[in-house]
């Protein structure tokens, strides 16, 4: 039985860290109705790896606790966290349908929400970088570095995809918000990944030869964000976002690590070249 009694009382930074991945919100929502066992949570949220679930449960310290039956349930802080998530979601859903002349006003509101998320993610990332630097020399530190990199790439991919979906429904306010958050995660991929060099030749090569290309995407992403603010995105810009999401998914599928085994990347040169191609694209 996977067991960890999670204490109560979270700092704001810890709360942001706990809710910094959609899977953790999904876990909280899964146990909202009734306490669930470890295996029941795995089935409910669709996680196959026990290690991955344990990683997320560890990040939910203070929001979850194990009851006397050995099942996970929400703490008072967990219930409040879900309430805040619900409030934030409602803010996004209650955008009034408005003619084009009102897009700028709505966009500014959503952009303010994006800035709040950006500050929260950035604050947590600084703390995560410091903690990882302290433990990178041991196996747990290496795993944490690998997992944090994987999640940053995945979060960026999800937000790019959501931005494209919002454009397709002419919800340019939401599109700009999603792209802004994607840019934050892409920054973390670049600036929070120095520990990758400790994971072996593949990751060292990706870090030294590939990740700087993600930073070079910023001007293009800024132009796309400006287009979203003006209520229009070109076919070329949409193609760029599609290629970016595809490259991030390809990278995710290439990252491998088995417990006790090496850290590897399939087709590391192909991944680097795809990032270079994106950096050289203008639209």
Q: Is the pLDDT of residue 208 over 70?
A: yes
Q: What is the pLDDT of residues 224-282, one digit of tens each?
A: 999 998 999 999 999 999 999 999 999 999 999 888 889 999 999 999 999 999 999 98
Outline where DSSP puts E strands in 18-110: 64-66, 72-74
Q: Give the domain ranges of the chain.
A: 12-83, 107-279
% residues pLDDT > 90 (the chain): 40
Q: Which fold has domain 12-83?
A: Arc Repressor Mutant, subunit A (1.10.10)
Select from 191, 114, 83, 193 the least CA-distant residue to 147: 193
Model confidence band, residue 9 (pLDDT cutoffs 50, 70, 90): very low
Q: Is the pLDDT of residue 207 over 70?
A: yes
Q: Phi then psi for 66, rounded to 5 degrees?
A: -100, 125
Select from 174, 175, 136, 178 the least CA-distant residue to 157: 178
Rounded to the nearest integer, the mean pLDDT of the chain is 79
Helix (H, G, I), strand (E, B) or coil at 51: helix
- pTM value is 0.58
Q: Is the pLDDT of residue 57 over 90?
A: no
Q: What is the pLDDT of residues 159-175, one digit of tens each?
A: 999 999 999 999 998 89
Between residues 111 and 230, which one has the greater pLDDT? Answer: 230
Q: Phi then psi for 256, rounded to 5 degrees?
A: -135, 145
Length of the chain: 283
Burial (CB < 10 A; 0-12, 13-18, 19+), residue 69, is exposed
Q: ∠ at Cα 86 (81, 92), nearest 5°?
A: 130
Question: Which residues on adjacent β-strands are paired with residue 72?
Answer: 36, 66
pLDDT at 96: 41
Q: Is the pLDDT of residue 132 over 70?
A: no
Concatenating the DSSP letter of every residue in 231-275 gives T---HHHHHHHHHHHHHHHHHHHHEEE-TTS-EEETTHHHHHHHH
% residues pLDDT > 70 (the chain): 73
């Amino acid at each position: 039985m996977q067991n960890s009694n999670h204490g109560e009382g979270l700092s704001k930074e810890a709360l942001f860290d706990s809710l910094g991945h959609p899977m953790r919100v999904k876990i909280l929502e899964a146990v909202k109705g009734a306490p669930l066992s470890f295996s029941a949570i795995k089935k409910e949220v669709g996680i196959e790896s026990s290690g991955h679930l344990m990683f997320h449960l560890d990040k939910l310290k203070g929001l979850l606790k194990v009851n006397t039956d050995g099942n996970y349930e929400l703490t008072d802080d967990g219930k409040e966290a879900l309430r805040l998530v619900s409030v934030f979601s409602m803010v996004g859903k209650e955008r009034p349908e408005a003619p084009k002349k009102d897009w700028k006003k709505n966009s500014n509101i959503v952009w303010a929400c994006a800035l709040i998320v950006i500050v929260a993610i950035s604050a947590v990332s600084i703390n995560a970088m410091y903690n990882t630097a302290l433990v990178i020399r041991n196996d747990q530190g290496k795993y944490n570095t690998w997992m944090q990199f994987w999640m940053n790439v995945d979060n960026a991919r999800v937000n790019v995809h959501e931005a494209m979906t919002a454009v397709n429904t002419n919800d340019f306010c939401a599109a700009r918000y999603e792209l802004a958050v994607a840019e934050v995660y892409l920054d973390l991929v670049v600036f929070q990944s120095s520990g990758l060099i400790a994971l072996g030749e593949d990751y060292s090569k990706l870090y030294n030869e590939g990740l700087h290309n993600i930073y070079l995407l910023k001007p293009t992403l800024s132009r796309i964000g400006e287009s979203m603010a003006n209520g229009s995105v070109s076919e070329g810009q949409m193609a760029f976002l599609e290629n970016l999401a595809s490259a991030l998914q390809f990278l995710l599928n290439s990252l491998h690590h088995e417990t006790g085994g090496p850290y590897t990347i399939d087709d590391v040169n192909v991944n680097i070249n795809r990032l270079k191609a994106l950096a050289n694209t203008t639209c």
